[in-house]
Structure 1
Amino acid sequence: MSGETAPRLRAAGDSAPGEGGRPADRRQAILEAVRTHGAASVAELAARFDVTYQTIRRDLRTLEDQGLLHKGFGGAFASPGVAHHTHDERHTIQVAVKRQLVAALEEFLVPGATIFVGLGTTFDSLHEILARHPGVLIATPNLEVAHSCALKTDATVYVYGGYVRNKDSSVLTIADDSRQRFKFDVAVIGASAIDREGTVQEFDPMEVDLVRSILPHARQVILVAHSEKFERRAPHVVTQLANVDVLITNGDPAIRFDDPATLAALRVITLD
C-alpha cells in the first residue's frame, strides 16, 4: 500500500484498543474490515487491536494462505472474487437516482449500436430504456443486465465468461480473445470510487482488468456514477477522468476535485 493514511476502521461493534483477543477472532475481524473498506494498513490494524506490527503481519499471512485476502506492502486488500457489498445490499442504495442516471444514457442508444456495459447495480434498469431501441448488441460481464436485457428487450446479448463473484451478479472474467471481439460504439462503466484527482477506482482487480482491456476498443467512454462515489477510495485504478468522454452524475461534480480542469475535457450530464 502507499504511504497514504488508511480510512478509519472503527465502527459500531468494533473492538476497542487493547482488545486483541484470540487470534481466530482477531483474524475474522481483520477480514471483515478489509472486505468492508477494500483495504487496510498494518499500522491501522495494529493500533485497533493493540498488538505489534509483526502480529498483524502474521495474521495477514495466515489469511492470505487461506485465500481470503491479498497481502500488499504495508497492508492487505480484499481478495478477488469477494464482493465489497453483496448485490442485494447495493441494489437498495440510491435506487431512484440510479434509474435517473441510466435514463440519461438513452441518447447514446442508437439503433444498431454495439455497447459494453460494466458491472454494478447502477445498470439494473437499463432494459427499461433499451426496450425502445431495437437492434442493439450488449456485451457485458453483468449478469443482471444480461438477464433483463435478454428477456425484456430484443437486444443481442453477449456475456463474458469467467467466475461468478460470490453473493453478486458479476462475472469476473478470464482473459482471452473475446476481449478483442468487438469494436464498441459506447463503453458504459461504473465506479466504486472517484478520488479528488479524478482517478476512477474499483475494489476487485479482476473487474479492473476487464474494463481496462475494453476501453481502448470503444469509440466513446461513458462513466455513470452517483454522487456518493466521489471522494471515496478503493485500491485499484481503472482509468482517469481524462480518458472518459462523458460523465453522468447527480449534484455538482466540480466541487469534488482539487483541480478545476479535471472535468474540462469531458461532457458532464447532471440530473436536475
Structure 2
Amino acid sequence: MTHPRQSSILELARTEGRVSVEDLAQRFGVTLQTIRRDLSEMADAGLLDRVHGGAVARMGVVNIGYDQRRRMNEGAKQAVARACAAMIPENCSLILNIGTTTEAVARELLGHRNITVITNNMNVANILLANPGCEVMLAGGSLRRADGGLVGELTAGFFAQFKVDIAVIGCSALDADGDMLDFDLAEVRVSQAILQRSRQAFLVADASKFQRTAPGLIGSLSQIDRVFTDRPLPGDLAARCEGWETAVTLA
C-alpha cells in the first residue's frame, strides 16, 4: 500500500465488512476517483474484493480480531514470553513490536531493571508503565484502533533513528520455508525496519502460527538469532534453522 489512507481503508473493511466509495471519499476528504484508484490498487494486491459501489475485505487475508487473538493459546504465549524474557539481560535496549505475544513478553519484563523499550505497540507501553526501571519510548504513526498498534512510514522512519541490543518481534504466520508473514503491509514494513536496527533479533511465536498463512512477507528465519516457540518446528525447518545458525528455544 502506497498511502496511509489505504491502511485505514483496509482496517475499515476488516472491521465493517464492506466500505463504499462515497463514504470513504467523504471520510478522507478526497475525490471519488481517488478512492476508486485506492480500491483498485488494493484489489490488485489481493487485499480487497471490488463490489458495486465499494469493496469488501477478502476472505482468507483477514486477521483474527484482537480480543480473540489475545485469548488464544494464552498458556503457550506466557511460556514463550517467559523463556524469551529470561534471555534478555538487564541494562539493555529493546524494540518490541505489535502482537499479543510481544505483549506477554512485556509483562515478563516488569521485573527487569535499567532497560529501554522502544515500541509501536500502545499495549506494550501501558504494560511497562508499571516498571519504574524501564524507560519507554513510543513510536508515532497511524493508530490501528483495533489493537493499539502504530504503523506506516512515520513509524518505520522513527525506528530508523535507533540501534538497539535486541528486537523482539511477532508474526501472524510462519510457513514451512521459514518465512515470517503478516496481514498488514504497513505493519510488514515496520517489522522489516525493526530487524534492520537491532544487533540481535528474537521471534516469539506459539505453534498455532505454523498452521496459519498471511499475504505479507516480513522476512526469513535466517534473519533471526533465536526463535522462541512451544512445540518443535514442523518438517525440516529445524534443520534449516541449524544451517542458518538460528537457535530455537522450546518453552
TM range, normalised to the smaller chain? 0.7 to 0.9
Deviation at residue 68 of structure 1 after TM alignment: 10
Tell me which amino acid in the other structure corresponds to 1:72. Answer: D
Tell me the distance in 2 between the aligned counterparts of 1:143 and 1:256. Answer: 36
Normalised to the residue count of structure 2, the TM-score between the two structures is 0.74
The equivalent position to 1:243 in structure 2, one of 212, 216, 223, is 223
- Seen in structure 2, the aligned counterparts of structure 1 residues 85 and 226 have a Cα distance that, compared at 3 Å, is same
Deviation at residue 133 of structure 1 after TM alignment: 1.4
Tell me the distance in 2 between the aligned counterparts of 1:92 and 1:256. Answer: 30
Q: Is the 8 A contact 1:254 1:263 kept in 2?
A: no
**Partner of 1:138: helix, strand, or coil?**
strand
Q: Is the 8 A contact 2:95 2:117 kept in 1?
A: yes
**Residue matched to 1:215:** 195
Deviation at residue 169 of structure 1 after TM alignment: 1.8
RMSD of aligned residue pairs (Cα, Å)? 3.1
For residues 186-225 of structure 1, the aligned pairs below 5 Å read 186-225=166-205
**Residue matched to 1:93:** 72
Q: Is the 8 A contact 2:176 2:235 kept in 1?
A: no
Tell me which amino acid in the other structure corresponds to 2:85. Answer: E
Structure 2: segments with no counterpart, 5+ residues: 1-9, 16-32, 49-56
Q: Is the 8 A contact 1:241 1:263 kept in 2?
A: no
| Greater percentage in strand | 2
Tell me the distance in 2 between the aligned counterparts of 1:66 and 1:225. Answer: 33
Of stretches 106-115 and 186-195 in structure 1, the one that deviates more from structure 2 is: 106-115
Tell me the distance in 2 between the aligned counterparts of 1:69 and 1:92. Answer: 34
Over alpha carbons, which structure has the higher Rg?
1
Tell me the distance in 2 between the aligned counterparts of 1:70 and 1:234. Answer: 15
**Residue matched to 2:88:** 109
The answer to whether residue 209 in structure 2 is matched with residue 229 in structure 1 is yes
Deviation at residue 196 of structure 1 after TM alignment: 0.9
Tell me the distance in 1 between the aligned counterparts of 2:40 and 2:123. Answer: 26
Q: Is the 8 A contact 2:210 2:234 kept in 1?
A: no
The equivalent position to 1:72 in structure 2, one of 37, 44, 56, is 44
**Residue matched to 2:130:** 151
Normalised to the residue count of structure 1, the TM-score between the two structures is 0.69
- Identical pairs, percent: 26
Tell me the distance in 2 between the aligned counterparts of 1:135 and 1:83. Answer: 38
The equivalent position to 2:160 in structure 1, one of 180, 187, 203, is 180
